[in-house]
Structure 1
Amino acid sequence: MPLPSRQTLLPFLRWLPNTSKRSLASDLLVGLSGAILALPQSIAYALIAGLPAEYGLYAAIVPVIVACLWGSSWHLICGPTAAISIVLFTSVSPLATPGSDDFIALILLLSFLAGLFQWLLGLLRFGALVNFVSHSVVLGFTLGAAVVIALGQLPNLLGIAVPSQATALATILNIGQHLAQTDWRALAVAGFTLGVSLLIRRLWPRLPALLIGLVAGSLLVLAWPAQLGGIALVSAFEGRLPPFSPLRFELESVLALLPAAVACGMLGLVTSLSIARALAGRSQQFLDANQEVRAQGLSNLIGPWFSASLSAGSFTRSALNLQAGARSPLAGVFSALLVALFALLGARLIAHIPLPSMAAGILLICWGLVDIAGLRALFRVSRSEFLVMLLTLLATLLLELQTAIYAGVLASLFFYLKRTSQPRVKFWQEGEEELLRVEGSIFFGACHYLQQLIQRSKGERVIIDAHHVNFIDYAGVEMLHQEARRLHAQGRQLILRRARPQVIEEILKLEGAELCPVRFED
């Protein structure tokens, strides 16, 4: 086996020598825009995950650099995301108190295990496995996650203290019991922040609306300390670069986190590859899916050692990267380095952000996750896929989120098998011949359906037009042999017409050409 080349081990060597001063300057400006967008989002996602604010910045540094340098996409930008953050929170909060040292250690361990799963998939070239998570599952999960995230931020929005819950339904019931304790000052600050952000987005869509809204909310609290001085603020932290965090590999913790790690890993890959494919289609760039899967895994293998939680593709930052004219993945690297600079020098500014303002910003992010156009299109195109989306949405609201992903995948596979178990069959009769044109595979799931159609045939010659049959498995071969013998005993024939060579070869394997009861015609 030949040794891998330098460009295989270090894929950034393929494009790095082609950079110029002009492209570097362009990527630096794009990176600055990306960093401005990443700052409030990353902090918000850390709070969603139950982590201190600084851990959101850490997740937007090392994993982003690794994914950009080792990935295949020129425009994909990774980092903490809303959906991943809520799955991390619901997976680890039953095991440790959110924000505690044990909670942080478990989050980092879960991120490492998910990264290991992703990297192994890429190493074994199993990146296509993410295709089993259909778009309808992602759509339903994202919508459900947006609702769960929004509900989780209502206590901060209302200024009430309630314990976190594992499901959306439990959260609603818990908040309902404490509505009388609502702090109207917190609600006013949140409303002001949300109003400013929406106004900026409406009038000046190119400006960072979320960042400006958070600044406005912070200034409002600073301007009226007598009236608003008691409102909770984001916890202060020491400004520094991502610290080295040795992981604690305890067998009990690893086994407890493995199911969530697989779910998080799959969700991260589906999100990242979907975004990367969409951007590659618009930029006419070739995308190596397996390389991208390995890069995502590598970023999440390395990131947790530098205090970074699980990273995945960010649609808003990646779209900005493309629209702003990024010339290479260095735009993402520059974005991460600028976030690192802020984490080092701007930590004190974060401690002035009111929690109600941050909650309002997170609600704005949640609204951005709702793909109304996608939901309408799904309803028009496929009612069965729309039902899968609804089942996934319902699962996210009633179950823990990693369980909801599995439920959505199973529902999607169920409807797929239901469709393929009844392949399209056209039937017509010509004299004593009955023709059945099968358009689909003859496999174990479709055998019973096809066998019933053959048994209902009354012609002397039952002909199956197999020109559109690309695949037949052992169960299909055995069924055809069984029906051919039954017809032969009645003085009739089962004939496959225009069958493909690979189909004929599989049918003849069972008993050989001389003993095979099935007849073939061109």
Structure 2
Amino acid sequence: MPLPNRQTLLPFLRWLPNTSRRSLGNDLLVGLSGAILALPQSIAYALIAGLPAEYGLYAAIVPVIIACLWGSSWHLICGPTAAIAIVIFTSVSPFAAPGSDEFIARVLLLTFVAGLFQWLLGLLRFGALVNFVSHSVVLGFTLGAAVVIALGQLPNLLGINVPSQATALATLLNIGEHLPETDWRALGLALFTLGLSLLIRRLWPRLPALLLGLVGGSLVVLLLPERLTAGIALVSAFEGRLPPFSPLQFDLTSLLQLLPAAVACGMLGLVTSLSIARALAGKSQQFLDANQEVRAQGLSNLVGPWFSGFLSAGSFTRSALNLQAGARSPLAGVCSALLVALFALFGARLIALIPLPSMAAGILLICWGLVDIAGARSLFRVSRAEFLVMALTLLATLLLELQTAIYAGVLASLFFYLKRTSQPRVKFWQEGEEELLRVEGSIFFGACHYLQQLLQRSDGERVIIDAHHVNFIDYAGVEMLHQEARRLQAQNRSLVLRRARPQVIEEIHKLEGAERCPVLFED
């Protein structure tokens, strides 16, 4: 086995030497745009995850730099995401109070375990496993996560204090009980922030609407008399500094508790990241190494928690901005992370001026961006089975814990896939005493019973299977064909495979040898 070369261990050496002063200047400008977009989003996602605001900035620094340098995509930008943030919150909050030191320690441990799972998948070249999480599962989960996140922010938007709940339904019922306690000043401030952001997005779509909306809400609190703004909660203040070193606390009980959520988050992060990377690679005509990208995602989440960064994945908005703004290399993402680091160091005081109702309004705006109505309609038109998988995942997201909803969606998707493959398309026709069946699909254990029933209903002297479209046959399929061939021999009839591929013939002969094989073959 050849030893890996320097470019395999340090893949950024493939493009870094080609960087010029001009391309570096361009990537720096693109990175500035990305940092402006990342600042409000990262803070919002940290609050969704139940973490202090600064942890959103920390997650947009070290993990982003590692994913950009070790990844395969030129334009993919990682960082905290809304869907993963809400899974983290619902997974860890039953074991520790959100925002507490124990909660933070468990979130960082979950991130490390998810990163280890991702990195091992890439190391073993099992990146294709993420394909088992279908687009319909991701779409249903994203729609459900948008609802869950929005419900979770309603207390901040209404200015009420409601304890966190495990499911969306429980949260909704709990908010309903406390609705009479609504602080109308907090609600008015949230609506102002939301309206300002929507107005900016409508009139000046190139401007950072979310950031300007938060600035507008903060100015309202600063400029209005204190008697009108007293009691409106602000984002917790923190000391401006670079991501601090955070030793992880490896505890067996915590590891076992967090393992299911870590695997779910790891899979969800990989599906999101690879989907975005493939879409961008198609537009930029770039070759994408999926396994290298999986390893990079894993490495970023392995190293990130040691520097206070919680789980990161591909961000569609930041990645699309990266491509549209003309990024020349992954250095644009690195520049974006370094600019976020400068803000974390020198701009901490500004974050403490943001009112929580304004931040809740900004998060609602992010939630609306997660709702893909056009995608759901397209799915309904193309495949009712996939639409049902999406609907089941959405329902599970609202009624169950989120990591359980992901597994439920994957199982539903696999169920419909196996149902389709267990009944391959078979075409029948009669030619004299011969009955022909053209099988279009694999002959494997799941399809054996269906195909055996069709063979037993046939009454021709020669039952011919046109196997030209059969690419794979397993032991159960071979045994079934031998069994049916012997049954037909006892009736002075025969089973013939026509135009079978060499690998299929070889597998059928393995059971008893070519001399004793009861199945006949024709070209």
Q: Structure 1 residue 138 and structure 2 residue 138: aligned? A: yes
Secondary structure at 1:435 match in 2:
strand
Q: In structure 1, what is the equivalent of residue 405 of structure 2?
A: 404
Q: CA deviation at 1:230?
A: 1.9
Q: In structure 2, what is the equivalent of residue 272 of structure 1?
A: 273
Q: CA deviation at 1:222?
A: 1.1
Q: In structure 1, what is the equivalent of residue 495 of structure 2?
A: 494
| Amino acid across the alignment from 1:389 | M
Does structure 2 retain, via aligned residues, the 8 Å contact 1:35–1:338?
Answer: yes
Using the alignment, how far apart are the partners of 2:12 and 2:432 within structure 1? 67
Secondary structure at 2:464 match in 1:
strand
Listed as ranges, the matches of 1:44-443 within 5 Å are 44-224=44-224, 225-443=226-444
Using the alignment, how far apart are the partners of 2:373 and 2:65 within structure 1? 33
Q: CA deviation at 1:272?
A: 0.4
Q: Deviations over 1:449-494 (max 9, x none)?
A: 1111111111111111111101011101111111111111011111
Q: How big is the alpha-carbon RMSD for the aligned residues of Structure 1 and Structure 2?
A: 0.6
| Amino acid across the alignment from 1:458 | D
Using the alignment, how far apart are the partners of 1:8 and 1:513 within structure 2? 46
Secondary structure at 1:230 match in 2:
coil
Q: Deviations over 1:24-75 (max 9, x none)?
A: 0100000000000000000000000000000000000000000000000000
Q: CA deviation at 1:255?
A: 1.0
Using the alignment, how far apart are the partners of 2:431 and 2:333 within structure 1? 66
Q: Deviations over 1:155-213 (max 9, x none)?
A: 00000000001110110011011000001110000000000000000000000000000
Does structure 2 retain, via aligned residues, the 8 Å contact 1:221–1:229?
Answer: no
TM-score norm. by structure 2 comes to 0.99
Q: Deviations over 1:239-259 (max 9, x none)?
A: 000000000001111111111
| Amino acid across the alignment from 1:381 | V
Structure 1, gaps ≥5 residues long:
none
Secondary structure at 2:147 match in 1:
helix
Using the alignment, how far apart are the partners of 1:176 and 1:37 within structure 2? 34
Using the alignment, how far apart are the partners of 1:230 and 1:170 within structure 2? 27
Q: In structure 2, what is the equivalent of residue 21 of structure 1?
A: 21
Structure 2, gaps ≥5 residues long:
none
| Amino acid across the alignment from 1:235 | S
Q: In structure 2, what is the equivalent of residue 455 of structure 1?
A: 456
Secondary structure at 2:443 match in 1:
coil
Secondary structure at 1:495 match in 2:
strand
Does structure 2 retain, via aligned residues, the 8 Å contact 1:428–1:435?
Answer: yes
Secondary structure at 2:463 match in 1:
strand
| Amino acid across the alignment from 1:424 | R
TM-score norm. by structure 1 comes to 1.00
Secondary structure at 1:428 match in 2:
strand
Question: What number of residue pairs does the alignment pair up?
Answer: 522
Q: CA deviation at 1:2?
A: 2.0
Using the alignment, how far apart are the partners of 1:316 and 1:71 within structure 2? 18
Sequence identity percentage: 89
Runs of 4 or more, structure 1, over 3 Å off, are none
Q: CA deviation at 1:139?
A: 0.3
